[in-house]
Structure 1
């Protein structure tokens, strides 16, 4: 569950969705503008990726075949699948094996779920641009729906919001599916900062989701004017804010610790284990680790890097 709103009816914290028809050359133009700390240029590139297409390099097989496997690169312990952005870039890369043309949004949805990133034009001068899996998740879900990294995450310092938090605690006690609530102050690299409320639930049936949504709407009504508030599902193993809160933020409401009754009976999904070290957010107030990395040395090599090859997009 993820939703953004602002007390007082102002626009949400992440702006508006991009509009307009796809431009075949937009991605390559945007790539030329990407540089360290140029977050607006990086966002423009992600928009172009979402609306465009890429040429995925296959290490084995052909598009749609059972043995199809994408190429793979390992950068600082993280896996990336290499791709190029046009037939001209494919020729310039010297890639002699098969390739697959796929939309940026589709490949993003395929890769991020197993925490693989996408590396664009690794043969280009400077080594191309890497898109980590957390940003591919944003491309797949909608860039206007998820905050732009790198994120700066900390405990919120909002004295004026104490009545908001108190109301959340009182009403959470009445919604038995709510196990715990956490909070974080999120400062995206692009866009306004906002308050994130982490929801830990015993189950996520439709009635529960509706009850929690009503709870949040009632609480937002007493939030300080202009405060942007977003809800985050703590069970979402791909959400960087949820991962940070699980590792760094104590619940400000905990049903079991508060003695508000035993958990409901019935089968509930297990709470996911703590994230691996590479997935955790850093210490309070630090960046979350989005962005580009140095290119892999020697790409394209004669042998794949020493890691398990990406299994490849299964085709349609």
Structure 2
């Protein structure tokens, strides 16, 4: 392993030692280190690169995780005597999260190690600064924004790609809360998406200063905000439904 790879692996272990219940800032730092670091994935079957290679698996609270260790020293301490594969945190995150598999660091360690749920692996894979830090507190918005919602629904009605709109208030574990607008679209072509971006640009001028607004695609099966919007809220604009009330 290169010197940079060794340093990155060491940073993962350093940040792992800092994580404790309620310390979401330390957990975020661990995710950042994980994205750039190296992990030793434990192979239950096969050899690295072989067609029959298969990562190990474990289940915790009904969720699946692939076990790994964070250094050659931890590999030796684990007593693992089968094959393993050295990968970057970002690469393994990209491989695991679409199937809703998480990553479990050092399960042999005192206390049982630490699990990284698949939703956080998605953040590692796609960009930690692009998605809110969990666990998320999601609720109906309490801010009265009739001008914004009125303007947004007007522009939505003039944007053929938009089927419906939903909304929620998102409070990340780390970072500022914001208003999320869920987009239910008929069309996701580049031209349609640009029309939706223009709809939002024309509408956010009615949002009071200091109220962040973000959008989320309701069709995204892996986005926790989209999943909550689909199951817990009703549309405040629906092209095919009754007139909006906001």
Shorter-chain TM range is over 0.9
Alignment pair present for 1:145 and 2:96? no
Q: Deviations over 1:287-315 (max 9, x none)?
A: xxxxxxxxxxxxxxxxxxxxxxxxxxxxx
Q: Does 1:61 align with 2:46?
A: yes
Partner of 1:218: 202
Look up the match of 1:254: 238
Give the corresponding residue for 1:274.
Answer: none
Mapped contact 2:9–2:39 kept (Cα < 8 A): no
Instruction: From 90, 104, 108, give the equivalent of 2:75.
Output: 90
Alignment match, 1:267: none
Instruction: State the distance in 1 between where 2:88 and 2:16 align.
Output: 17
The residue number in structure 1 matching 2:93 is: 108
Note the 1:234-249 alignment, pairs <5 A: 234-249=218-233
Deviations 1:98-137 (A, max 9, x none): 0000000000011000000000000011110000000000
Shift of 1:180: 0.3
Deviation digits for residues 121-172 of structure 1 (CA, Å, limit 9, x no counterpart): 000111100000000000001111000000000000111x210111111110
Q: Give how far 1:186 is off.
A: 0.1
1:239 is displaced (CA, Å) by 0.2
Match of 2:55 among 57, 70, 80: 70
Q: Distance in 1 between matches of 2:198 and 2:242?
A: 22
- Paired with 1:120 and 1:259, the residues of 2 have a C-alpha distance of 51
Q: Which runs of 4+ in 1 moved over 6 A?
A: none
Q: Which residue of 1 aligns with 2:180?
A: 196
Unpaired runs of at least 5, structure 1: 1-21, 261-316
Is 1:178 matched with 2:162?
A: yes
SS in 2 for 1:198: strand
The partner residue of 1:162 within 135, 146, 153 is 146
CA distance in 2, matches of 1:172, 1:258: 14
Q: Are 1:35 and 2:8 matched, yes or no? A: no
Shift in Å, 1:222 = 1.7
Q: Deviations over 1:253-303 (max 9, x none)?
A: 00001479xxxxxxxxxxxxxxxxxxxxxxxxxxxxxxxxxxxxxxxxxxx
Q: From the superposition, tell whether residues 259 and 186 of structure 1 become closer, same or farther in structure 2 (CA, over 3 Å).
A: closer
Cα RMSD of the aligned pairs, angstroms, is 1.1
What is the CA deviation profile of residues 27-74 of structure 1, one whole-angstrom value per residue up to 9, with x for unaligned ones? Answer: 001111111111011101101101111000000000110110000000
Deviation at 1:92, TM superposition (A): 0.6
TM-score after normalising by structure 1: 0.74
1:220 Cα deviation from its structure 2 partner: 1.0
Q: Identify the match of residue 129 of structure 1 among 90, 114, 134.
A: 114
Greater relative contact order (Cα < 8 A, sep 6+): 1
Measure, in 1, the Cα distance between the counterparts of 2:20 and 2:107: 15
Find the residue that maps to 2:8 and give its secondary structure: coil
